[in-house]
């Protein structure tokens, strides 16, 4: 491999002419646009050797007064002339970073004006791997690429900005990516394909944005991969819902211990119970869709039982808009088991969005 050889890239499209060398491992390749690209020697292959291309004619302005061309040899090193040439810094690896954790984050520009601000979407790579990613939105088989690229280890990358008026396009999100390391051996992971249903009502509520290790301002974080396991958002069919509603309760050993409610001096104070599974459990790994639904319903039943006899007590059950499965199950329970002891209605949209039910104990 020498100056003037024509090469192509092994891991990328394109190639060019070798113009020089940088250190022991880097070769400078002039691409089709005239830019000098630093590439590792292992990532190029020679496809044509030009033994005669040892000199190049300088531009017309360098001709001597005699009219003869002044020829200048091609440089063999860019060490002096290209000291400011930008090279990619080595990836910074952190202890424990070989366990893959990837998140999608939504950050309001100004959370104080939550109903008028714009939002920024970020992909957070909390691992020692490079990610080649595609970020998409869509419905059924119609998907649109919103962002794509590479993100370095232990970094976050901006994906897009949007307003609340754009939320209808963002209800269904898909993240696909592959992981790798550069210039060193690594553990092979399969390509990841994770779809999410965003609860867009949360973008209207300030308390849905929390402090995190990745941003100075509050952010809404969705786990894509946690501890090497891709996040799976559960869905349940109407048939499975019906089966779960008529199936016997789990044994007492399987039902979690009821949470003791604090005694309330003011009965008008509302009790707020968030039934989102991520608020109830640290992890749902190994749980089926029906087990997750049953766990949420058990928490609803526990709360209703503990509130028996607390007349005029309001309970706000936050279940999310989602596919309406949990809300339907709760309403069925209220109609069939609590019809004579409680009343219910949709909770205030201004306070809780569309995904909450207000139950009052008679």
Average pLDDT for runs of 10 along the chain of length 362: 80 79 78 78 73 40 39 36 50 86 94 92 95 92 93 93 91 94 91 90 89 91 91 58 54 41 52 87 78 88 87 88 80 85 84 84 85
Beta bridge partners of 121: 106, 160
Residue 5 to residues 29, 218, 257, Cα–Cα distance (Å): 10, 53, 73
Q: Is residue 48 part of a domain?
A: yes
Q: Same domain for 222 and 136?
A: yes
Report the CATH number that the domain containing residue 266 is assigned in CATH: 3.30.1370.110
- Sheet containing strand 192-197, strands side by side: 142-151, 130-139, 172-180, 192-197
Q: Same domain for 68 and 153?
A: no
Q: Same domain for 137 and 218?
A: yes
CB neighbourhood size of 245 (10 A) = 14
Range of the domain at 313: 238-361
Q: Is residue 121 part of a domain?
A: yes
Among 230, 250, 285, the domain-final residue is: 230
Confidence at residue 307, expressed as pLDDT on a 0 to 100 scale? 87
- 239 burial level (CB within 10 Å; 0-12, 13-18, 19+): exposed
Q: Same domain for 125 and 189?
A: yes
Q: Which of 4, 352, 25 is nearest to 199 (CA)?
A: 352
Q: Is residue 156 part of a domain?
A: yes
Report the CATH number that the domain containing residue 137 is assigned in CATH: 2.60.40.1600
Instruction: Provide the pairing of β-strand 314-318 with 271-274.
Output: parallel
Q: DSSP 3-state assignment of 43?
A: helix
Q: What is the pTM of this model?
A: 0.47
Q: Same domain for 14 and 48?
A: yes
Confidence at residue 261, expressed as pLDDT on a 0 to 100 scale? 44
Q: Is residue 97 part of a domain?
A: no
Q: DSSP 3-state assignment of 289?
A: helix
Q: Same domain for 318 and 342?
A: yes
Q: Is residue 1 part of a domain?
A: no
Which residues are within 8 A (CB) of 12 and not within 5 positions of it... i.e. 6 or more apart?
43
């Amino acid at each position: 491999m020498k100056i003037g050889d024509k090469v192509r890239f092994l891991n990328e499209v394109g190639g060019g002419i070798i113009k020089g060398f940088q250190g022991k491992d880097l070769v400078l390749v002039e691409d089709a646009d005239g830019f000098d690209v630093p590439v590792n020697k292992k990532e190029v292959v020679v496809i044509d050797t030009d033994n005669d291309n040892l000199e190049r004619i300088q531009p017309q302005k360098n001709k001597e007064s005699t009219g003869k061309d002044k020829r200048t040899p091609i440089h063999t090193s860019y060490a002096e002339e290209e000291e400011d040439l930008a090279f990619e810094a080595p990836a910074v690896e952190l202890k424990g970073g070989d366990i893959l954790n990837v998140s999608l984050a939504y950050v309001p520009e100004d959370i104080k004006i939550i109903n008028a601000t714009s939002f920024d979407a970020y992909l957070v790579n909390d691992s020692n791997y490079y990610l080649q990613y595609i970020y998409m939105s869509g419905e059924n088989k119609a998907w649109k690429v919103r962002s794509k690229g590479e993100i370095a280890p232990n970094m976050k990358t901006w994906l897009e900005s949007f307003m609340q008026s754009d939320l209808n396009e963002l209800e269904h999100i898909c993240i696909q990516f592959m992981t790798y390391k550069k210039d060193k051996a690594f553990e092979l992971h399969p390509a990841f394909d994770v779809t999410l249903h965003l609860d867009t009502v949360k973008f209207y509520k300030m308390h849905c944005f929390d402090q995190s290790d990745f941003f100075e301002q509050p952010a809404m974080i969705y786990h894509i991969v946690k501890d090497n396991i891709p996040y799976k958002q559960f869905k349940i069919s109407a048939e499975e819902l019906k089966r779960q509603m008529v199936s016997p309760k789990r044994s007492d050993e399987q039902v979690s211990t009821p949470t003791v409610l604090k005694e309330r001096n003011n009965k008008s104070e509302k009790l707020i119970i968030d039934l989102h599974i991520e608020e109830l459990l640290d992890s749902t790994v190994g749980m089926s869709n029906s087990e997750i639904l049953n766990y949420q319903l058990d928490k609803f039943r526990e709360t209703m039982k503990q509130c028996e006899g607390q007349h005029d007590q309001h309970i706000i059950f936050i279940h999310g808009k989602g596919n309406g499965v949990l809300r339907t199950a709760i309403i069925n329970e209220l109609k069939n088991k609590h019809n004579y002891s409680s009343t219910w209605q949709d909770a205030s949209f201004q306070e809780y969005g569309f995904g909450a039910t207000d139950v009052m104990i008679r």
